[in-house]
Every structure is written in structure tokens, then in C-alpha cells.
Amino acid sequence: MVHPGMVERGSAHVREKRRRRRAEILHGALRAFREKGFHATTLDDIALHVGVRKTALYHYFPDKQSILHECHREASAELARIVRGARTFPSAREQLRYVVREHVRVMTETLEGSPLAFEVTAFSPERQRELMAARDTYERAVRRIIARGIRRGEFKRIDPKVAVFIVLGAINWIARWYRPEGALHAAELGKQYADHLVGGLERR
């Protein structure tokens, strides 16, 4: 006789296994996209990177676009968490340093340098709207931190909108050159980005 508790533990185990396999698929896909670009990547390439057969992918995602979409959603959710986490720092300077460091970590570790930000046009108009809404929310949050820093006299009197483009442009560009197997460590990189991009806003 199967004890109900065993079933519970069994399903939790299965759920955990599925969750891990799902994460492996997303990571394998990101590596494949980085190597060949989204358009040239096939489901076979992704299966090869994950180390499973292509049919196994279909248990998790119906197609390549859905995989890219899920990568985007996870990255967006992580950026939203970062913005919330930044609120615990008292100064705008420390808030922005935290956001820059963590965003660099998302680019290098979560996304492994995959050029997600360059692939928005691969989606249906509906999904594009969803992703752009998430991006706009994030940009507004970063802009508010910068505007607050200007009001508090921490930052120079610049156009916060342009400052956001400078900061996020520099970070998004990481996808153009970063290789996970390279010599640069994510934490070091995050610190240099924060020193450069937040330092450039501070009043002397």
C-alpha cells in the first residue's frame, strides 16, 4: 500500500526533477543561441547542448520560440527582483551600484552572455508587447533611482533618461563580447561596471 506521504514526496521529487531539467534546457538553449544566433539555432542544436534527444525537449516546450520566450521571462523576473532588492539600500548611489552589479551578473551567469536583448523581433506582436512592457517597467525603476540621486544631490544634474540608456546600453552590450569560458569573472566585471557607470554620475 502506498502511503499518501510517499506520494507527496514522490511528486515533489518529480516536480524538482522537472524543474531542474527545464533549467538545463534553458541553459543549453542560451549557449546554443550564443554560438549560432537565435535564427540559425535548431532544436537539434539545443538538444545537443542539453545532452538529450530532441523528442525530450517537446515534453517541456512546443518550439524554439517558446524556449527563447521563457529565457526572456526568467531574465525579466530576475531584473524585477533586483529592483526590489535595491530598495533596502539607503542611498541612490548604493541602489544603482547594486542594480548594475546584479544586472551584469544576470548577463554573464543567468544568460551566459546570450544576446537576448537583440532578439525581441523573433516574437509574435503579443509576446513582443509583453517583453517590452517588462523592459519599460525595469527602465523606469532605474530612472527613478537616478532621478532620486539627482534630487538628493548625490548625482550630477543630467538627463536621467539618457543616463539610463548609457548604463543599460553598456550592460546589454556584454552579450556582444562576453564568453563564459574567458578570463573575466562576473563579480570583478560587475564591480568595474558599477565603478565606471555609477562613478560617472556622482558629483565631485
Which residues make up the interface to a second copy (CB under 8 A)?
37, 118, 121, 156, 158-159, 162-163, 165-174, 176-177, 184, 189, 192-193, 195-201, 204
**Structural contact between residues 100 and 167, judged by C-beta atoms closer than 8 angstroms:** yes
Least Å from the CB of residue 11 to a second copy: 45
Least Å from the CB of residue 3 to a second copy: 57
Q: Which is nearer to a second copy, 82 or 194 (CB)?
A: 194
- How far is residue 71's CA from residue 67's CA, in Å, rounded to a whole number? 6
Give Cα separations from 162 to 99, 147, 173, 174, 175 (angstroms): 17, 11, 16, 19, 21
Q: Which is nearer to a second copy, 8 or 195 (CB)?
A: 195
Least Å from the CB of residue 56 to a second copy: 31
Q: Which is nearer to a second copy, 82 or 104 (CB)?
A: 104
Listed residue (109, 93, 73) closest to 190, CA to CA: 109
Least Å from the CB of residue 14 to a second copy: 42
Q: Which is nearer to a second copy, 82 or 171 (CB)?
A: 171
Name the 3-class secondary structure at 161: helix
Q: Would the CA dihedral through 131, 134, 139, 140 be positive or negative? A: positive
Q: Which is nearer to a second copy, 43 or 120 (CB)?
A: 120
Q: Residue type for 170, please? A: A
Which residue reads 552589479 in cell numbers?
101
Least Å from the CB of residue 33 to a second copy: 14
Q: Which is nearer to a second copy, 58 or 173 (CB)?
A: 173
Least Å from the CB of residue 147 to a second copy: 15
- How far is residue 159's CA from residue 178's CA, in Å, rounded to a whole number? 29
- How far is residue 127's CA from residue 83's CA, in Å, rounded to a whole number? 22
**Which residue(s) pair with 98 in the sheet?**
none
